[in-house]
Structure 1
Amino acid sequence: MISRFGKVMIYVNDPRAAADFWVGKIGFIEVGAEQYEGGILSVELTPDLSSDASIVLFDRGVVERMSPELHLGTPSILFMSPDAREMRETLMRRGVTVGETAERGGSITFNFSDPEGNYFAVQEIKK
């Protein structure tokens, strides 16, 4: 049985460049990197060291060759923030492509893109 939710794999063209974006622009923390035979790199990141979940960036090309039957599209991920508007403004100042904010039912959301054109959503959640 599944006991908890742990990691989300995100397949990218350049795991190191993607990790630099997530750390430098989004504010994630790198908690691990593994170098496999043949120079294959995976990088694990988390928004906070107390978080139960993390993302793992892995080389898309390697997976395409090893397991061509797998779906390699970016998963639809909804991140949570205590202040979505402030986060959006911060990302804009850092040069990140962001979408407009939307407010529905008292919930504020927006999306942002990584340098490879993958989009992710952020929803405000009050503590």
Structure 2
Amino acid sequence: MIKQIGQIMLYVNDQDQAVRFWTEKLGFIKVSENDNGQGLRWIEISPAEGAQTSFVLHNKQLIAQMQPELHLGTPSIILYTDDLDGLYQDFQDKGITVGDLVDMPEGRVFNFADDENNYFAVIQK
């Protein structure tokens, strides 16, 4: 029986740039970095130490060569915050592309883009 979501794979064009975006701009931490010695490198990042779910950043071009049948698009991900207005302002101050603040039935939300123009959402319930 599945108990929780562990890791979400994000396939990116530039792993180092993606790490900088998530850690320096969004405050994530780098949990681990692994390299199989044959070019396959994966970097695990998390919003906080001990978080139940993390992202693993993979090289999109390399994975496409290894497993062309995989869907390498960015999944739709919603992140949670307790201070949507503060986070929205912080993202704007850091030059992160953000969408409008929107009231949804589930709570207030906004979208933001990483440096590769992949969009994610943040919600305050």
TM-score of the pair, normalised by structure 1: 0.93
| 3-state secondary structure, aligned to 2:90 | helix
**Aligned-pair RMSD on alpha carbons?**
1.2
Q: Distance in 2 between matches of 1:14 and 1:121?
A: 21
Equivalent in the alignment of 1:48: 48
| 3-state secondary structure, aligned to 2:5 | coil
Equivalent in the alignment of 1:33: 33
Q: Distance in 2 between matches of 1:115 and 1:46?
A: 18
Equivalent in the alignment of 1:72: 72
Amino acid of the structure 1 residue aligned with 2:75? P
Residue 106 of structure 1: CA displacement? 6.7
Equivalent in the alignment of 1:59: 59
Amino acid of the structure 2 residue aligned with 1:91? F
Q: Distance in 1 between matches of 2:104 and 2:82?
A: 16
| 3-state secondary structure, aligned to 2:75 | coil
Native 8 Å contact 1:98 1:113 kept in 2 = yes
Gaps of 5+ in 1: none
Equivalent in the alignment of 1:90: 90
Q: Alpha-carbon deviations, 1:17-62, whole Å to 9, x = none?
A: 1011100001101110112223332110110113101000000011
1:122 maps to 2:114: no
Q: Distance in 1 between matches of 2:107 and 2:113?
A: 20
Native 8 Å contact 1:31 1:46 kept in 2 = yes
| 3-state secondary structure, aligned to 1:74 | coil
Amino acid of the structure 2 residue aligned with 1:70? L
TM-score of the pair, normalised by structure 2: 0.94
Moved more, 35-44 or 77-86: 35-44
Q: Distance in 1 between matches of 2:114 and 2:93?
A: 15
Equivalent in the alignment of 1:105: 105
- Aligned residue pairs: how many? 125
Q: Write out the 4+ residue segments of structure 1 that deviate beyond 3 Å after TM superposition.
A: none
Q: Distance in 2 between matches of 1:7 and 1:51?
A: 10
Gaps of 5+ in 2: none
Q: Alpha-carbon deviations, 1:62-105, whole Å to 9, x = none?
A: 11001101100000000000011110110110111111100123
